[in-house]
Amino acid sequence: MYQADESASTTCQAQTTCPYCGVGCGVTATLENGALTAVEGDRQHPANYGRLCVKGSALHETLGQQGRLMRPRVDGTEVDWDTALEAVASRLTSIRQAQGNEAVAAYLSGQLLTEDYYVANKLFKGFLGTPHLDTNSRLCMASAVVGYKRAFGADAVPCSYEDLEEAELVVLVGSNLAWNHPVLYQRLKVAKTRNPLMRVVVIDPRVTDSCEIADLYLGLKPGSDARLFNGLLSWMAAKGKLDRVYLERHTQGFDEALAAAREDAFDLESVAADCDLDAEALETFYYWFASQLHVVTLYSQGVNQSSSGTDKCNAIINCHLAGGKLGLPGAGPFSITGQPNAMGGREVGGLANQLAAHMDYHTPGAIDLVTRFWTTDRLVPTLPDAPGHKAVELFEAIERGEVQALWVMATNPAVSLPDAARVRAALAKCPLVIVSECVTDTDLLAYADIVLPASSWSEKDGTVTNSERRISRQRGLLPPPGEARHDWWIMCEVAKRLGYGEAFAYTHPSEIFDEHARLSGFENVADTGRRLFDISGLAGLDRAAYDALAPIQWPVTAQAPHGTARLFEDGQFATDNGLARLVPITPRGPEQRLSAARPLRLNTGRIRDQWHTMTRTARAPRLMNHRAEPFIEVHPDDALAYGVADQRLAVLTSEAGEYRARVRVANAQRRGEVFVPMHWTDRFTKQARSGALISGYTDPLSGQPESKHGAVALAPLSTAWEATLLVSEALSDAAPWCESDYWARIPMRGCQRWQLASGQVEHDWLERLAAWLPEAATLWCEDAGDGRLRAAAVKDGRLCWWAMIGPPAELPGLAWLEQRFNDSELSDTHRRRLLAGCDDGAADSGATICSCHQVGQKAIVSAIRDGDTSVEALGARLACGTQCGSCIPELKSLIEEERAHAKPTPDTQVA
């Protein structure tokens, strides 16, 4: 029904869901002659009502066959599917026979569809009999899951997006919503405009773009959130701001929780001092929170990615329970999910401590129930009886040789796990590594014995669940390229070869979804302990109904056939006695300790325009422009203290590894702390993987790593020269310049940009360039005195490469040169201007601020200087900020900066 018509020249539109963040926006895709040519927000979709952010609106630019995996590979050789599947089945079998079921493991991802996830869980836990199936959600949501389970008895997000709009107070804790959940942020911003009484508080050690709408910003000391919320609980008690009736009727554990909070946070001044906050500002927050009923606390990785993340979640939930602030419109503790289907994975049981369908191993009767459900006429599954290894432990078990076969799907542990060097060593020694992946170029593939080409977004068909429990369809609109196949299909084919065909006889994802829906409702009745996750109301959909499925929030049952927007409205929780639990919290600091050798706190996280390891977003060159190179954000005082300067290169070292990138001196950063992005891999730069700096400490309850709290030293990277090389696509493969001490590759349209630097003096640049590049320079201009050079090579009328030796600050705007790489015949005028790198008078527009309309910083600054001193005026002149709106905070800060420059104060001096 949604299949693109390949033959006729037709244009049609189809509804699907964005594959990036947990907001789960509906996307309307335009298909022309079998190609997906445009996307826009689906106006009917309740997550976004027509909006899309920069990443979502560039989706169609990330498609295409180039760089996609097309054929399976076994031991480095391309093979047909039958050979590959046979190899998977026989190698898994021989390892199980020799070492036992538990020698086999899977590592999955919140980017799989629910149907893929369900099949993987059933195959590994049910039929391969191994509990070792975990997922990258361990790095992301694990603490939030345990927090909810401890408090509510189930992993259940109580809120809806509408609650954010209906709240009187919204508290963002460790969430940069403006960049990471941009459409939800826009919804919040609109709601705040409509309700002038609404207040927003941002709690984050960094001043982020989300502060644009903050009435109060608390730039707390990293890791001190539990103390801050313990302080809130004891303040509420001291000021008589508790909801005694709610506590009495619907909760347990309050006295213990309060005693623990009081012991830790006996007075406001000491809490403020421990969190490094102004006591008055802290009390303002406490007062606002305590005096409002309609409060949503939205929390994310600044809370979860901690060795005490679970406790931080419960410290937050405690305050909501104590004030009766949940189960109401505009109220609740809201863990926002990161990946498009982090929730779907949690629903099927994709974490190693879960069994299936919100049942754990210790849930009474669960193993028997799932066994009976998965039993077929001739097959009885052999379920493990206890939880398996959580991600970090799993790689330790591989290191020890206990786990000998690992199947990785839709994630890149060689980059995203902490202590990445150790993970790589474990992968290198693992006898069997199977990788299901869509693209040819990832750091992980080097470790794969068997590579399986998977279909990707726009090809895959199934469901995802967003942060508000809303299940939406991702639709298969295009055929996968080459021989790429759907993840569920690949696993079912392996299952058949292992003799489990009968239990994996699905012919379409709708059949898998139906089984998943039935399991959620199977014996899900009050007397055996009701499970909150119940979508039995969606069981029995035929293919057409499944294809037409409209977005719906679980639970979906006979009683709630249209889904459920808000949970716990009746004050009944999923615990044994129906009461919610307050948990006593004793705050703990980060495990990665600062020392004289590593005095700086390392914070890691996301940037606006990139998605994780950039396998998709870097395919849209315009998304590379906002932050083109890996960077280190440093407070001006620290820059001075450690001898690093803005836009120069520097190196961070931790006990686990090293990271080289360009410094951004930023007032938004606290003193003593640095921030680096998580996105760069060895595909894009020499040495700037944040995972290499983070040590593998985890939360004892959730197993989530402490990715936000590294300990590092900072020093300048000494350089004798810096260079920029633009190279046509044809010359980009061999890159001998990667020998340099620093390199970063930046994909552009029709060429690749390389930023290079080294500590070794180069005496003859023309000779060096001749050694690096097959085409000799045809034009150059050298200033031997200061080591500057510009050179280019033109062959058969086409530009082959362009080079500049000198600091990148001297670069012309690269848009003009980018266009020249796409000229099939350079004009004489263009040839003459090549070394200048621009047309006469063509201004360099600077780093891209507005990705939607490609508006650069310099153009914006010059418009501000011309008198356009409001976001609206800038939008009217340059169109920046008028589409998705994500750049508005940056526009505002540029306006502020210009204002500050006009009236210089000693504080605004930035190196």
Ligand X SMILES: Nc1nc2c(c(=O)[nH]1)N[C@H]1C(S)=C(S)[C@@H](COP(=O)(O)OP(=O)(O)OC[C@H]3O[C@@H](n4cnc5c(=O)[nH]c(N)nc54)[C@H](O)[C@@H]3O)O[C@H]1N2
**In this complex, which beta carbon is closest to Mo ion, that of residue 138 or of residue 660?**
138
**Rule CB under 6 A: is residue 851 a binding residue for ligand X?**
no
Least separation in angstroms between residue 241's CB and ligand X is 22
**b (16+ CB within 10 A) / e for 164-181:** bbbbbbbbbbbbbbbbbb
Question: How many other CB atoms sit within 10 Å of the CB of residue 606?
Answer: 17
Q: Which residue in the set 14, 15, 16, 21 belongs to the binding site for ligand SF4 (CB under 6 A)?
A: 21
Stretch that binds Mo ion, among 31-39, 136-144, 309-317, 641-649 (CB under 5 A): 136-144
Stretch that binds ligand X, among 343-351, 412-420, 471-479, 821-829 (CB under 6 A): 412-420
Site for ligand X in 359-378 (CB under 6 A): none
SS3 label, residue 258: helix
Site for ligand X in 70-109 (CB under 6 A): 109
DSSP H or E stretch at residue 781: strand 779-783
**Rule CB under 5 A: is residue 140 a binding residue for Mo ion?**
yes
434-473 footprint of ligand X as x/- string (CB under 6 A): --xxxx--x-----------x-x---x-------------
Least separation in angstroms between residue 387's CB and ligand SF4 is 31
**Rule CB under 6 A: is residue 410 a binding residue for ligand X?**
yes
Contact 478, 458 (CB under 8 A): yes
Nearest to 701 by CA among 259, 62, 57, 145: 145
**Rule CB under 6 A: is residue 894 a binding residue for ligand X?**
no
Total chain residues near ligand X (CB under 6 A): 57
CA gap 790, 181 in Å, rounded: 42
Partnered with residue 432 across adjacent β-strands are: 405
Compute CA distances 573 → 24, 361, 485, 523, 531, whole Å: 26, 20, 42, 19, 11
**Rule CB under 6 A: is residue 173 a binding residue for ligand X?**
yes
**Rule CB under 6 A: is residue 464 a binding residue for ligand SF4?**
no
Report what 24 binds from ligand X, Mo ion, ligand SF4, none; CB cut-off 5-8 Å by kind. Answer: ligand SF4
Compute CA distances 610 → 204, 262, 455, 624, 892, whole Å: 21, 42, 21, 8, 22
Least separation in angstroms between residue 781's CB and ligand X is 40
Stretch that binds ligand X, among 83-91, 168-176, 531-539, 737-745 (CB under 6 A): 168-176
CA gap 593, 601 in Å, rounded: 9
Least separation in angstroms between residue 109's CB and Mo ion is 10
**Rule CB under 6 A: is residue 235 a binding residue for ligand X?**
no
Least separation in angstroms between residue 673's CB and ligand X is 9
Backbone phi, then psi, for 738, in 5-degree steps? -65, -5
Stretch that binds Mo ion, among 330-338, 395-403, 540-548, 866-874 (CB under 5 A): 330-338
Total chain residues near ligand SF4 (CB under 6 A): 14
**b (16+ CB within 10 A) / e for 117-134:** bbbbbbbbbbbbbbbbbb
**Rule CB under 6 A: is residue 531 a binding residue for ligand X?**
no
CA gap 611, 618 in Å, rounded: 8
**Rule CB under 6 A: is residue 477 a binding residue for ligand X?**
no
Q: Which residue in the set 45, 46, 56, 792 belongs to the binding site for ligand SF4 (CB under 6 A)?
A: 56
Q: Which residue in the set 230, 318, 592, 603 belongs to the binding site for ligand X (CB under 6 A)?
A: 603
Backbone phi, then psi, for 808, in 5-degree steps? -60, -20
Nearest to 73 by CA among 443, 435, 460, 489: 435
Report what 183 binds from Mo ion, ligand SF4, ligand X, none; CB cut-off 5-8 Å by kind. Answer: ligand SF4
Report what 18 binds from Mo ion, ligand SF4, ligand X, none; CB cut-off 5-8 Å by kind. Answer: ligand SF4
Stretch that binds ligand X, among 28-36, 161-169, 204-212, 260-268 (CB under 6 A): 204-212
Q: Which residue in the set 14, 25, 142, 169 belongs to the binding site for ligand SF4 (CB under 6 A)?
A: 25
Stretch that binds Mo ion, among 139-147, 211-219, 516-524, 879-887 (CB under 5 A): 139-147
Compute CA distances 708 → 177, 304, 637, 758, whole Å: 16, 9, 22, 30
CA gap 910, 497 in Å, rounded: 64
SS3 label, residue 327: coil
Q: Residue 805 half-sphere exposure, CB side, CA atoms within 13 Å?
A: 23
Extract the tokens encoding 58: 């560039």
Least separation in angstroms between residue 140's CB and Mo ion is 3
CA gap 326, 123 in Å, rounded: 38
**In this complex, which beta carbon is closest to ligand X, that of residue 210 or of residue 564?**
210
Compute CA distances 107 → 9, 21, 88, 213, 611, whole Å: 42, 20, 15, 38, 20
Q: Which residue in the set 335, 604, 857, 883 belongs to the binding site for ligand X (CB under 6 A)?
A: 604
Site for ligand SF4 in 138-197 (CB under 6 A): 181-183
CA gap 453, 432 in Å, rounded: 17
3-state secondary structure 470-515: EEEEECCCCCCCCCCECHHHHHHHHHHHCCCHHHHCCCCHHHHHHH
631-670 footprint of ligand X as x/- string (CB under 6 A): ----------------------------------------
**In this complex, which beta carbon is closest to ligand SF4, that of residue 609 or of residue 706?**
609
CA gap 720, 761 in Å, rounded: 5
Extract the tokens encoding 435: 């990788």
**Rule CB under 6 A: is residue 15 a binding residue for ligand X?**
no
Extract the tokens encoding 50: 């027509």
Extract the tokens encoding 574: 């999923």
**In this complex, which beta carbon is closest to ligand SF4, that of residue 38 or of residue 425?**
38
**In this complex, which beta carbon is closest to ligand X, that of residue 176 or of residue 292?**
176
**Rule CB under 6 A: is residue 848 a binding residue for ligand X?**
no
Tokens 């994909």 belong to 747
CA gap 366, 344 in Å, rounded: 19
Report what 203 binds from Mo ion, ligand X, ligand SF4, none; CB cut-off 5-8 Å by kind. Answer: ligand X
Stretch that binds ligand X, among 249-257, 517-525, 611-619, 711-719 (CB under 6 A): 611-619
**In this complex, which beta carbon is closest to ligand SF4, that of residue 25 or of residue 661?**
25
Cβ neighbours of residue 502 under 8 Å, at least 6 residues apart? 376, 377, 378, 379
Total chain residues near Mo ion (CB under 5 A): 2
**Rule CB under 6 A: is residue 302 a binding residue for ligand X?**
yes
User: For binding to Mo ion (CB under 5 A), which residues are involved?
Assistant: 140, 338
Contacts to ligand X by CB under 6 A: 21, 109, 111, 136, 139-140, 173-176, 179-180, 203-206, 208, 222-223, 225, 300-302, 305, 338-339, 409-412, 415-416, 436-439, 442, 454, 456, 460, 487, 603-606, 608, 610-613, 615, 678, 690-691, 694, 707-708
Residues of this chain that interact with ligand SF4 (CB under 6 A) are: 18, 20-21, 23-25, 48, 52-53, 55-56, 181-183
